[in-house]
Amino acid sequence: MDIRAIALGLAFVVMWSSAFTSARVIVQYVAPLHALAIRFLISGLIGVVLARMLGQSWRLTRRQWIATIIFGICQNALYLGLNFVAMQTVEASLAAIIASTMPLVVAIAGWAVFGEKLPSIGIAGLFAGIVGVAIIMGKRLQGGADLYGIALCAVAVLSLTVATMSVRRASSSGNLLMIVGIQMLVGSALLSVAALSLETFRVTWTWQLGLAFSYTVIVPGLMATLVWFVLVNRIGAVRAAVFHFLTPFFGVLTAWALLGEPMGWGDVIGVAIITVGILVVQLSKQKPTVPAEQPA
């Protein structure tokens, strides 16, 4: 993994993790599904227009269209939609921690459901991650965390898992920015239907809302998604997923620094265990590099 890949991975994690904090601010002032539908409409249109200006085409293959639509449904409509609704009652730090377990969910599904082999060290990493989640959840539930919001976050993780599995096919055309824009418009369309059916539009105009919404549209919305596609194309989905082990750390840190959310010792210990577990699982899935033979 070269320096550029490391820089891309760190940039993605910081931007991705910060989305939970900005989302927590947004849902205090706007109905969550309406806010997210508008966000994706704006981000998607910006992405498509910029892509066309750069000469990119929306003429994808049938397989690429299917993968892009799946990604738009699973990540944008389901994953982020459920998280936005959940963060009306769940703290941003807790939502970030639950979302960060996605690599563990992928590994568990591959091992338990699909029979994929996982080394003993990888299995140990899985159990470490589960223990870390249990520690945090125990402390948060004792503190009165909302069970309904936690359940929404858990279902959102499953949706993100499916979205991640579709990334390689969705990003293989080379029209990265166009694909990012299209999958955001897919999410916006579905969220608009859900918002009109399930919510009453409400908004309280404040500078905090304007700042958080603008940041969310540009940084986690367009930039983080584009960086993730570039990173996966550069080093592959398995190696890129290693960077997810930093998500719980940056998610909790950002929420604590900007929103003043409490961070107890249970959170610190749990996040540390989850971080190590995710890193061990991802490293155990990587194939060792075979050194080239030296000429005689």
Which pLDDT score, from 0 to 100, does residue 63 have?
Answer: 77
SS (HEC) of the chain: CCHHHHHHHHHHHHHHHHHHHHHHHHCCCECHHHHHHHHHHHHHHHHHHHHHHCCCCCCCCHHHHHHHHHHHHHHHHHHHHHHHHHCCCCCHHHHHHHHCCHHHHHHHHHHHHCCCCCCHHHHHHHHHHHHHHHHHHHHHHHCCCCHHHHHHHHHHHHHHHHHHHCHHHHCCCCCHHHHHHHHHHHHHHHHHHHHHHHCCCCECCCHHHHHHHHHHHHHHHHHHHHHHHHHHHHHCHHHHHHHHHHHHHHHHHHHHHHHCCCCCHHHHHHHHHHHHHHHHHHHHHCCCCCCCCCCC
The predicted structure's pLDDT at residue 293? 45
296 residues of the chain, pLDDT tens digit each: 578 888 888 899 899 889 889 999 999 999 999 999 999 999 889 889 988 888 888 787 777 788 788 888 888 889 889 999 998 888 888 888 888 787 778 777 766 666 767 778 877 888 888 888 888 888 777 778 888 999 999 899 888 877 766 555 555 556 777 888 888 899 999 999 999 999 999 999 999 999 999 999 889 878 887 888 788 777 776 677 777 778 878 888 888 888 888 877 877 888 888 888 877 877 776 655 444 444 43
Cβ-based neighbours of 66, under 8 Å, separated by 6 or more: 169
Residue 26's pLDDT is what?
A: 93
**What pLDDT is attached to residue 291?**
44
Residue 288 is predicted with a pLDDT of 53
